[in-house]
Amino acid sequence: LSLDEIQAMLSPNGQADVDRAVLLAKADEIDATVRQLRAMSRGLRHAAACPAPDHTQCPNFRRLLKIAASGVFKRDTARRRAGVRPAHSNVEAV
C-alpha cells in the first residue's frame, strides 16, 4: 500500500479504519503482477534454453507473443476487480 492509501485507512484520531475492499483489490493487483512476472520469467528461461535456431520458429515463443499481444493480463486484472475469476489462464502453463 502507498502512504496515501495507508493514511486513508487512519481516522483523524489515529484509529485504524480499514477498508477491506481496498485490501482485496490490492491483493488482486499483486496476484496479477505475480502472474505476469512468472510468465515473463518462464519466457526468458525458455528463450535461454530453446533449441530452435530462431525464436520466431519456436512454437512456445510464438504462443508467448500471442498471449502478450492479446492483453490477457489486463483482462484478468479487470475481471478480478469486478469479482469474476477466470476459469483458467494459459499464461500459467508457459
Q: What share of the chain is helix, strand, coil (3-state, %, to 5)?
A: 70, 0, 30
Neighbouring C-beta atoms of residue 53, cutoff 10 Å: 8
pTM equals: 0.58
Phi, psi of 30 (to 5 degrees): -65, -45
Q: How confident is the model at residue 89 (pLDDT cuts 50, 70, 90)?
A: very low
Contact yes or no for 24/83 (Cβ under 8 A) = no
- What does the pLDDT look like over 58-82, one tens digit per residue? 888 888 778 777 776 565 556 656 6
- What does the pLDDT look like over 20-55, one tens digit per residue? 998 999 999 999 999 888 888 888 888 888 888 887
